[in-house]
Structure formats: structure tokens, C-alpha cells
Amino acid sequence: MEYFAPLSLSQAEKIKKTLKGSYYLGGGSMLNWRGAPKAAGLIDLKALGLDNIKASKNKIEIGATVTVQELALSKKVPRALSKAAGTFTSLNVRNVATVGGSAAGGFFISSILPVLSAYETDVLYYLSGKKKSAPLNEWLRAKKGIVCALIIKKLKRKVNVTEDKVASSDFPAIVTALGFDLRGGKIANAVIAVSGAKGQLSISEKAAKYLAGLKPSEVNAVKLCGEALKDIDTFGNVKVSARVKQRMIESHLRALLRAI
């Protein structure tokens, strides 16, 4: 295996194109996973200056190589995001895993992706010699380019998150986040995002459609859960069955509604 430490995004992209089977390296936590792909080369992004969290009045920009633990400790990011980051498995993993890796990697679950999705976060990425931007949920479908930063612009959105674990130091079984805008006291642009149901991130369009135009006090939890499970498939594993995951999602949505 070859190792590279490029000094620019352009150089990193050229190496990736030249060396077939090479991968970008953020923190490296994926290297310890049994399902990690075999790489012909690793392109380390640590020297590209992507390790800062910048907060302004209108947006928060989280660099791709910011670690999950740094995110958990940051006072610059929304509480829902730092809370989710701080619960992800062990301190040792959080010190290595990066924000960009959480998005670009292929790990089966993430504590922070549902929250980022609920905030309608944008991905700033580098592709074909240019920086570009796309909504997170859209970018995840193709995962093209080098993740440079995750940008939260809708800082006034109502967002909350909860999760279930089999053991406190283990990976979560299910992570659920709910986010929406309030317009005239009514819900708009709702996002119901789940990680671990069947893959890294699932979004319920039907639940979002149900919530649109309702006041928070008018939401029927049973109806919301029913709509969410219509388009969020669950896949069982050795720890948690598909049925148990469904019950977890229902419990989460009820708890998130109560917390509004």
C-alpha cells in the first residue's frame, strides 16, 4: 500500500485519478473496521487545512477533518449536533473519526449524519478542479469529490436527536433526528432522518409531508410513526432485529415530539 500526503486539493484529486484503488484518508477509523475496503493507496488529507470550525452570524462551517470529539466539545455548533457527536461509541474512536469521514465513509451507522440532515446541511466538496456545493442528502447518493466542509445555514431550525444502544460504549443501534422550520407557528420543511435502519441514512418523505402545515401541538404521534415507517426500511443484524429497530424509531419519534 502506498501513502501520500498532498499539499493541495488539486494534488489530492490527481493522485486519486492516477492510482486506481486508492482512497482518501481523513482520520483513519475505518481502517480498523472488518469491512474496510482493501486500498492500493491512502491519500491523507491532514495537510489541507480542513480542520477548523468557523461560526458566523449566518452559518457554521465544519471542516472535513475536524474530529467527532472536537465537534462534541465545540461551543460553536448547535447543541443537538455536539450532543450526538459526544455519544458516538468510545472516546478513542471519537478522537480519530472525522466529520468528513462520517459522510464520505461507508460505515453502517452515524450519530451525526441524522442531525446534519435535519439541519438541511450543505456539503462543500472539491471535484474536477473546483469547489462545489450540494445538499447533504443529495451528495450522499453519489459521494463524489473530496469533502471540504459541512455547512449549516439554517441556524434557527428546531432540531433534536435521540438514539438507542445495546451497550454504552458500543455503536448505536438506531439514531433518529427530527428537524423543521416554524412559519407562523406551523411546521415547514420537516426532515425525519434515521441512521442504522438500513444503511447510513434514511429519510422519510411521507412523514415530512404529513407534518407540513401542522402546529406542533396538532401532530399525532401514531400517525407520524406510521408514515415514517412506510418509507424507512429496517434491516436486522446480529444485535437488533428489524422489528426491534421499528419499535426504536417509533419510540424516538414520540420522544422527539415531546421535546419540541
> pTM of this prediction?
0.92
Domain spans in the chain, listed from the N-terminal domain onward: 2-105+120-152, 158-259
Sheet architecture: strand order including 22-25:
2-4, 41-44, 22-25
Greatest alpha-carbon span in the chain: 58
Query: Tens digit of pLDDT per residue, the chain (260 long)?
Result: 899 999 999 999 999 999 998 989 886 555 555 455 577 899 999 999 999 999 999 999 999 999 999 999 999 999 999 999 999 888 888 999 999 999 988 777 899 999 999 999 999 999 999 999 999 999 999 999 999 999 999 999 999 999 998 877 788 999 999 999 999 999 999 999 999 998 899 999 999 999 999 999 999 999 999 999 999 999 887 678 999 999 999 999 999 999 87
Other CB atoms within 10 Å distance of the CB of residue 146? 23
Q: At a CB cut-off of 8 Å and minimum separation 6, what does 57 contact? A: none
Write out the DSSP string of 55-105.
Answer: E-SS-EEEETT-BHHHHHH-SSS-HHHHHHHHTSS-HHHHTT-BHHHHHHS
Write out the DSSP string of 142-183.
Answer: H--SEEEEEEE--TT-EEEEEEEESSTTSPEEEEEEEEEEEE
Whether CATH 1.20.120.80 fits 158-259: no
Fold exhibited by the domain 2-105+120-152:
3.30.465
